[in-house]
Amino acid sequence: MAENKNENLLEVSGLKMHFPYHSGGGKKGLIYAVDGVDLAIKKGETLGLVGESGCGKSTTLRAVAQLYRPTAGSVKLKGQELTTATNQEIMRARKDMQIVFQDPYASLNPRMTTRDIVSEPMRIFTKAKILSLTKTEIDERVEQLMERVGLSRFFKNRYPHEFSGGQRQRIGIARALALKPDLVLCDEPVSALDVSIQAQILNLFKDLQEEFGLTYMFIAHDLAVIQYISNRIAVMYLGVIVELSDSAELYKKPLHPYTQALLSAAPIPDPEVERKRQRIILTGDVPSPDKARTGCYFYDRCSKRMDKCANCVPKLKDAGSGHQVACFLYGD
């Protein structure tokens, strides 16, 4: 384990995902959902992706998982290029890369029992001759997994509707772990849960990471959750990463004006702290990602914009000790 601690499990560079759209009146165009994302995740690390709705964090995750085939760029898992891989190769790669989805109601088939849901990946991969597991082995593994995520094995013949939201998310996690993946892509896995249940699930993610040496790419829109779970955090805005840094550092010293506003907008559960805080209130909404950008993506809402920002796109640059920011206020 120790020797490959610094090895990148996942490397993403220049990732672009554009979707064509047709609207009324023959109007056609492209949605620039993800517009050039570079990131790398080390083995055993948690990279948090944070941003507002429509900033492209889920699209990034899906393009990494090859659920969408990216428009451009490269995605390398354990050194293997996925964007040019065949479907067969991608299926093999997915054994190492699984997803936990946001909505524990929509992501479990209501007509399958817990046993069927958790065992499905193993059955599929056995059928495809990638794994060779017997029926009893699969059954045993289902029981182990259920107990590991905190569900009694006696629940295995129950259907999703018999479980609460938190328990369903546990089923989703058990399914994601069934193939013993290295990388787990978590798409807002705690956003639909109540506060007291959210803490349980976050702790479960941390425990599982320690036990199985998992690597997470973790999406959330709640900044406090992201800070708790992540080693490093990437802040996204309109399809690009505007800041990427160590998680403690990001909260102590946010550099990008957008990150600063985002952090100051997040409520803190303490009235005394809240009274003393200075809020940066951003005006306006996130613009629609339906046009190619010629300047900084945050230009319209930025309080510190300069002339340069309108015409040049700032690149993600190192601002010291691995803290990267895409803003002309820093560097030259």
Partner 1 sequence: MTDDVILQVKDLKAYFKLDEGLLKAVDGVSFDLRKGETLGIVGESGSGKSVTNLAIMKLIPSPPGHIAGGEVVFMGDDILKMPDDGIRKIRGNKISMIFQDPMTCLNPFLKISTQMIETIVLHQGLDKAAAKAKAVEMLKLAGIPAPEKRIDQYPHQFSGGMRQRVMIAMALSCEPEILIADEPTTALDVTIQAQILELINELSERLGTAVILITHSLGVVAGMCDSICVMYAGRIVERGTADEIFSDPKHPYTQGLIKSVPRLDKVSTQRLYSIPGQPPNVINLPDCCPFFPRCERAMDVCKTKYPKVAELGDKRTVACWLYGEGK
* Binding of partner 1 by 224 (CB under 8 A): yes
Identify the three-state secondary structure at position 64: helix
In the complex, the smallest distance separating the C-beta of residue 302 from partner 1, rounded to whole angstroms, is 12
* Binding of partner 1 by 53 (CB under 8 A): yes
Q: Which residues pair with 1 in a beta bridge?
A: none
Strands (E) in 7-162, as ranges, are 8-23, 27-42, 46-50, 72-77, 80-81, 97-100
In the complex, the smallest distance separating the C-beta of residue 196 from partner 1, rounded to whole angstroms, is 4
CB 259 within 8 A of CB 253: no
243-302 residues near partner 1, rule: CB under 8 A: 247-248, 251-252, 261-274, 279, 281-283, 285-286
Q: Which is nearer to partner 1, 20 or 271 (CB)?
A: 271
Stretch that binds partner 1, among 4-12, 17-25, 160-168, 321-329 (CB under 8 A): 160-168
Cα 88 to chain centroid distance, Å, stands at: 24
Q: Which is nearer to partner 1, 140 or 270 (CB)?
A: 270
Residues 187 and 99: their CA atoms lie apart, in Å, by 7
Residues 41 and 232: their CA atoms lie apart, in Å, by 9
In the complex, the smallest distance separating the C-beta of residue 154 from partner 1, rounded to whole angstroms, is 17
Residues 213 and 183: their CA atoms lie apart, in Å, by 9
Tell me, by CB under 8 A, how many residues bind partner 1: 45
175-214 residues near partner 1, rule: CB under 8 A: 194-200, 202-203, 206
In the complex, the smallest distance separating the C-beta of residue 280 from partner 1, rounded to whole angstroms, is 9
Cα 223 to Cα 38, 47, 78, distances in angstroms: 21, 13, 29
Q: How many residues does the chain have?
A: 332
| Positions that interact with partner 1 (CB under 8 A) | 52-53, 164, 166-167, 194-200, 202-203, 206, 221, 223-225, 227-228, 247-248, 251-252, 261-274, 279, 281-283, 285-286
